[in-house]
Amino acid sequence: MSKRLHFKIIANDPLSKARTGSLETSSGIVPTPAFMAVGTQATVKTLDARDIQESGCDIILANAYHLSVRPGEKLIHEQGGLHQFMKWDGPILTDSGGYQLFSLSSLAKVFDDGIRFRNHLDGDEIFLTPEKVIEIQKLLAPDIAMVIDEPLSFPHTRMNAEIALSRTLRWAEISLEEHKNVSQQLLFSIVQGGSFLDLRCKAAEELVKLSFDGYALGGLSLGEPKTKTLEIIDSVTEILPKDKPRYVMGMGTPGDIIRCVSFGVDMFDCVIPTRHARRGNLFTWKGRMSIKRSEFINDDQPIDLECGCQTCKHSYSRSYLRHLFQSKEPLGQRLMSIHNLYFYQELMKNIREKIQEGNFNRWLQENLQEEIFLIEN
């Protein structure tokens, strides 16, 4: 695989920045825009590899920090890498662990040369430098590795954002150098800059100069107003090269996705479909439904009659799913995760088709007020 030719654009929407393409990785081709199912611990919660595949997922995401803590990158390397370990032979992207500075903030502290964690399992120290994070991902061997970055919680001062950004940029440079002899693995960098548009744009410009295989926007949806988030994404994609994939990290309502696609974003990941399944919330084209509602007690219909997921195809009823949910039976979480992930993949397929037909922006404008696209988290 030549790294230079890994991303192909197939069609551009005439009335927005949306584009559809294909991202070639060592483990196969990912049609874009793509949604990655989250499998932090080398498992998309409750699903085996067949379930993931049957849900239509082309690519999944795991987490370098979490897997480094348990079971350890060396073990996964000795087991033949992440694909072999979890028996998923499709593409995998690993996030670096920068986000854990936010999600595990009480255990983490940032220094100029990296992030120190008291790990969340036994308190042992783990120090993530840019070099270390590349080394971990060499051993995990996903198709796409991410550089380490420093996201900021909101609100933050401009000075803090500047300091964090300068670290993130230096780390990106070190990462690229560390990674230069790694073949078979793409390396994406992450645009930071907090909530300051000019810092974000500067970050994008600096990273583009370094020439990565793809560009992510990180540290978004951490508390800043949605209009600010969207403004940043819209502006930054203007700066990023057209011929490289763009990835907005951790954002993921259907409404977020279609808006970001219209700004030219190609990749997404989010825990929403699996986390909501755990809470009994199901995605359908008519909106989100809570399986807890008493109207479903005696409802023999599948979640969605038109849906082709394994849960709906096998006609597991709303009544049965509600019973499993109320009984806290793990099967309920699995059947509902299968449905939600399938829904997300159908959404992405739909988006890709609309772009190819040149109808994306019209479709977006016509549907933006539909309930499913108004869901806020």
Name the residues annotated as catalytic. 95, 269
Task: Compute the chain's Rg from CA coordinates.
Answer: 20
> Residue 76 and residue 205: Cα distance in Å, rounded?
35
Quote the least distance from Cβ 57 to a second copy, whole Å: 15
Query: Does 327 sit near a second copy (CB under 8 A)?
Result: yes
Strand boundaries in the chain, DSSP class E? 7-12, 19-25, 28-32, 34-38, 60-63, 92-95, 108-111, 114-118, 125-128, 144-146, 186-191, 214-217, 246-248, 267-269, 281-284, 287-290
Q: Tokens representing 242?
A: 């057209």
Classify 241 as helix, strand or coil: coil
Binding-site size for a second copy (CB under 8 A) equals 39
Quote the least distance from Cβ 320 to a second copy, whole Å: 6
One residue of 63, 68, 333, 340 binding a second copy per CB under 8 A: 333
Of the ranges 158-166, 208-216, 332-340, 369-377, which one interacts with a second copy (CB under 8 A)? 332-340
Q: What is the DSSP string of 14-83?
A: TTSS-EEEEEEETTEEEEESEEEEE-TTSS-TT--HHHHHHTT-S-EEEEHHHHHHTT-HHHHHHTT-HH
Of the ranges 57-65, 73-81, 147-155, 259-267, which one interacts with a second copy (CB under 8 A)? 73-81
Of the ranges 6-14, 257-265, 317-325, 343-351, which one interacts with a second copy (CB under 8 A)? 317-325
> Residue 236 and residue 213: Cα distance in Å, rounded?
16
Query: Does 369 sit near a second copy (CB under 8 A)?
Result: no
One residue of 7, 65, 85, 268 binding a second copy per CB under 8 A: 85
Query: Does 47 sit near a second copy (CB under 8 A)?
Result: yes
Q: First vs last Cα of the chain: how many Å apart?
A: 38
Query: Does 78 sit near a second copy (CB under 8 A)?
Result: yes
Query: Does 335 sit near a second copy (CB under 8 A)?
Result: yes
Of the ranges 2-10, 71-79, 269-277, 282-290, which one interacts with a second copy (CB under 8 A)? 71-79
Query: Does 323 sit near a second copy (CB under 8 A)?
Result: yes
Give the footprint of a second copy on this chain (CB under 8 A).
41-43, 45-50, 70-71, 75, 78-80, 84-87, 297-298, 300, 314-317, 319-320, 322-324, 326-327, 329-331, 333-335
